[in-house]
Structure 1
Amino acid sequence: MKELNKKDIKTLALSSLGGTLEFYDFIIFFFFANYISKNFFPANLSDFWSLFNTYGIFAAGYLARPLGGIIMAHFGDKAGRKNMFMLSILLMAIPTFALAFLPGFDTLGYFCIVLLILIRIAQGVAIGGELPGAWVFVYEHAASSKRRTSLGVLTASVVAGILLGSVVFLIVNQIYTQEELFEWAWRVPFFLGGIFGIISVYLRRFLTETPVFEQMKQEESLEKFPLKEVLKTAKKGVFISMLITWVLTGFVVVMVLTLPNFIAKILSINPIEQSYLQMLAIILVSLSCVLSGVLADKIGVFKSCVIFAVGFGISSVFCFSALYTQNANFILVVACYLLTCCFGGLTNFCPIMMNEVFDAKIKFSGLSFSYNIAYAISGGITPQLALALHTLALQNLDNFWRFSLGIYIIFLAFLTLFCAFLFKKINNTPHTYSV
């Protein structure tokens, strides 16, 4: 494939920016979970169960992802990648606006919880088609020697959506008092999210269809039922894609979203300091995603994936050993946590591997089906699992169980290694889903 020209660079930039804004809409719910739990659940619930239920509703968005992902991917493989971009952003912007104005428990009672779940389901449907479509879109636009790097840039941009959420969280905490935030100001970020959605819809008007899809369309080689072909000919691709998605899910939900909150409570740091820590971690993860893509283009997927998996596993041991102990040291905990985030680029091997184990005519469907099913399962249980393991660790700081959450994260490092070896074996074996 030709090298990127100015038009291609503009297209990829707009795609990445759109992904940043849409992922902000999906993830901002997590940052304001405490405020949402106070407004949408009965006052007599304990803080643990109120927050646990809020995390559960957050997870409902993950459970809804397969519906949107499978449907949008089907038409993305048949009608084009670009068309699905416009649909996914609309499905995200509308419910985000709705949440900004949704009355709480004092007004609607338990009905507000039902509406809150429906909003998260709508957002899950939207994001289910967004990210797989973006990965395929960028991969097919990029020059063959820069595809993995391009995916790294896109993944970094999506992670930047979390950074944008952190920045907004920090700003509203500086502008409003905690009383104002609990009463009404928590709604401001969701209103902004709706505005971001409108901006994304406008930006995506300038996207062009991928040359790969245009060529398949001219050759009339498009599949009538792409998912059927995926399940028939690409079972190994589906398997490895689901495993590596599990890694991505665990890292994002635990290391990026929940662990800064746990660290803040253990070290008794305020929400502002927590936001700074989370922002720095996200920046390191984003840079690591780009680096992993560059290395994958230079030395190959297998070698670079092993490097990141080993680094992540070793640094995780130090991180959780320093955190879950009596009188945890602030500097040591923060240093070890940020070091672990430096290996967050292992999440970029998720789109890299998935793009390279499916043929172009079933790529969107294969990638989206595998990714969203796996994300629905792992993302649906990981927030509650992380909270439960964190609670268990705090109750057993003087014995083995203080490593409970750390064991899960180290397991993800070993799972990444397994995926690297499996990917190498698949790529060296003749198959029908050639890249």
Structure 2
Amino acid sequence: MTTHIPHKEHSEPVHDEGRRLSGQDAKTLSLSALGGALEFYDFVIYVFFSTVVGTLFFPSDMPDWMRNVQTFGIFAAGYLARPLGGVIMAHFGDLLGRKKMFMFSIFLMAVPTLLMGLLPTYETIGIAAPLLLLLMRVLQGAAIGGEAPGAWVFVTEHVPRRHINFACGSLSCGLVGGILLGSIIATLINAFFSASEINDWAWRLPFILGGVLGFVTMYLRRWLHETPVFAEMQARKTLSEELPVKRILTQHGSSVVLSMGVTWLLTAAVVVTVLMTPPLLKQVTGIDAQLMQEANTISIVFVMIGCLVAGFMADRFGAGKVLALFSLGLAITYGIFYSSMLKATDHVFSLYALSGFFVGLVGVVPGIAVSSFPAAIRFTGLSFSYNVAYAIFGGLTPMGVSFFMAVDPLAPVYYIAFIGVLGVMIGVWATRRAQAHA
């Protein structure tokens, strides 16, 4: 018979609340961030080589537009697989242990990434080539669906509660670092190999590298320990044995809404500001692609810095207040940056870096979401909310912004301004919830 913990956010095992961050905490944070960075690298490297992949894995006589649709359709399949994979892994993480699923998620990412680098092309095996590529992408999506929520839960149940936001900010910094690593590797591949070499074989290198590094990280993660919170719940027999999605939706609806709301902020900040802005500005202004890539790289570095600063501030002033501040800062700085680029590109590096810093609000998001659910169903609650929201908003945002760009080139600015206002409102709500449960 399942024993439920009381329906209150913080009625859970307490683990050395007053202590400082220890060397073991630093080890846990570094290995978790490293694994997260490599998993996100594995997940996004496909984008950087999508043109080559589309050429090699689909018929040569296929129209370009159809090949692009097929190629990015396979990319999108990874997003669609996130919720199911995340919820299933989260359930077993709540039942069998955080560490087991933390190890399994990186294994599930490393294997298909390595195999993607070894797959035969359409010319060799025909239609089986894109089908195998699709299967690998689905497995990657399932893995990434469990990795980010698993990492956030894992570290927050290791560190003292007063350092939870900095821990989550450090992890978010690592995840963004995976995107940066993908950009750097793609740049190096294009710099050291000719177009014919890349098409022949060099495109495989980043996938093989990602798979190998994933296995290395998996080996390193074996030295991590199960979280004290899970171990105590296991000893007290307060684990949630059923698949608790129904319980989450019926008993913790407000937590689901809050977690989905902050995930919406995260997807908008990353997808629009970091991923979509370079091609959109190139399309609208004709800015040099190399200049925009360099500015984007600098902006990503400042996103990582912003994650750490936001996490540090949130532990001292409250996550809700910092989320509201950074949301407002992002709305203002991105508006100034984007509108300025429509007139001149003289300050592209400084303005893009400044807006990138405020994208660091993603460092506060996991701390708010993790703290919304009680320990027995925390992994499942966070994974369900995060992955469903990411699948919806991560998938619809690019299409929506691109559609309204045809009406007004300032569409990205309006959307981020809306997100800024939404972030302030969610920040106020999160602050009041935290005070109510203090």
TM-score w.r.t. length of structure 1: 0.90
Residues 60 and 380, structure 1, Cα contact 8 Å, conserved in 2: no
- Whichever residue aligns with residue 299 of structure 1, its letter is F
* SS class of match (1:343): helix
Matches within 5 A, 1:204-219: 204-219=221-236
Q: Which residue of 2 aligns with 1:117?
A: 134
* SS class of match (1:402): coil
CA gap of 1:406–1:104, structure 2 versus 1, over 3 A, is farther
Q: Which residue of 1 aligns with 2:288?
A: 269
Residues 323 and 364, structure 2, Cα contact 8 Å, conserved in 1: yes
Pick one of 381, 392, 413 that aligns with 2:420.
413
Q: Which residue of 1 aligns with 2:4?
A: none
CA gap of 1:185–1:315, structure 2 versus 1, over 3 A, is same
**RMSD of aligned residue pairs (Cα, Å):** 2.2
Q: Which residue of 2 aligns with 1:395?
A: none
Deviation at 1:373, TM superposition (A): 0.9
CA distance in 1, matches of 2:159, 2:194: 46
Matches within 5 A, 1:277-426: 277-323=295-341, 325=342, 328-390=343-405, 392=406, 401-426=408-433
CA gap of 1:342–1:52, structure 2 versus 1, over 3 A, is farther
Pick one of 233, 236, 241 that aligns with 2:251.
233
Pick one of 16, 22, 28 that aligns with 1:11.
28
Q: How many residues align?
A: 419
CA distance in 1, matches of 2:120, 2:365: 38
CA distance in 1, matches of 2:236, 2:435: 28
CA distance in 2, matches of 1:278, 1:192: 23
Deviation at 1:357, TM superposition (A): 1.0
Cα deviation 1:301-353 (Å, max 9, x = unaligned): 22211110111011121223234x3xx42223443322211101111232011
CA distance in 2, matches of 1:424, 1:82: 31
Q: Which residue of 2 aligns with 1:180?
A: 197
| Higher deviation after alignment, 38-47 or 2-11 | 38-47
* SS class of match (1:146): helix
Q: Which residue of 1 aligns with 2:278?
A: 260
Cα deviation 1:69-91 (Å, max 9, x = unaligned): 11111111111100001111111
CA distance in 2, matches of 1:313, 1:18: 31
Task: Confirm whether residue 93 of structure 1 aligns to residue 110 of structure 2.
Answer: yes
Deviation at 1:420, TM superposition (A): 1.1
CA gap of 1:361–1:83, structure 2 versus 1, over 3 A, is same
* SS class of match (2:354): helix
Pick one of 173, 177, 202 that aligns with 2:219.
202
CA distance in 1, matches of 2:62, 2:359: 36
Identity %: 41
Matches within 5 A, 1:28-43: 28-43=45-60
Pick one of 238, 248, 253 that aligns with 1:221.
238
CA gap of 1:176–1:263, structure 2 versus 1, over 3 A, is farther
Residues 31 and 166, structure 1, Cα contact 8 Å, conserved in 2: yes
Deviation at 1:405, TM superposition (A): 2.7
Deviation at 1:45, TM superposition (A): 5.6
CA gap of 1:412–1:178, structure 2 versus 1, over 3 A, is farther
Residues 168 and 367, structure 2, Cα contact 8 Å, conserved in 1: yes
Pick one of 119, 131, 145 that aligns with 2:162.
145
Residues 165 and 314, structure 2, Cα contact 8 Å, conserved in 1: yes
Q: Which residue of 2 aligns with 1:245?
A: 263
| Higher deviation after alignment, 188-197 or 48-57 | 48-57
* SS class of match (2:167): helix
Task: Confirm whether residue 127 of structure 1 aligns to residue 144 of structure 2.
Answer: yes
Residues 29 and 170, structure 2, Cα contact 8 Å, conserved in 1: no
* SS class of match (1:331): coil
Deviation at 1:191, TM superposition (A): 0.9
* SS class of match (2:279): helix
Q: Which residue of 1 aligns with 2:119?
A: 102
CA distance in 2, matches of 1:58, 1:406: 26
Give the gaps of 5 or more residues in structure 1. 393-399
| Higher deviation after alignment, 139-148 or 329-338 | 329-338
- Whichever residue aligns with residue 413 of structure 2, its letter is G
CA distance in 2, matches of 1:108, 1:255: 39
Residues 330 and 416, structure 2, Cα contact 8 Å, conserved in 1: no
CA gap of 1:220–1:380, structure 2 versus 1, over 3 A, is same
CA distance in 1, matches of 2:64, 2:274: 22
CA distance in 2, matches of 1:197, 1:149: 25
CA gap of 1:93–1:210, structure 2 versus 1, over 3 A, is same
Cα deviation 1:240-291 (Å, max 9, x = unaligned): 11111111112222222232233455444245x4443332111100000011
Deviation at 1:107, TM superposition (A): 3.8
Residues 22 and 200, structure 1, Cα contact 8 Å, conserved in 2: no
CA distance in 2, matches of 1:76, 1:387: 38
Residues 56 and 384, structure 1, Cα contact 8 Å, conserved in 2: no
Cα deviation 1:164-198 (Å, max 9, x = unaligned): 11111121111112232234322211111111111
CA distance in 2, matches of 1:334, 1:208: 42
Deviation at 1:46, TM superposition (A): 5.8
CA distance in 2, matches of 1:32, 1:411: 32
Deviation at 1:128, TM superposition (A): 0.6
* SS class of match (1:145): helix
* SS class of match (2:20): coil
Residues 322 and 427, structure 2, Cα contact 8 Å, conserved in 1: no
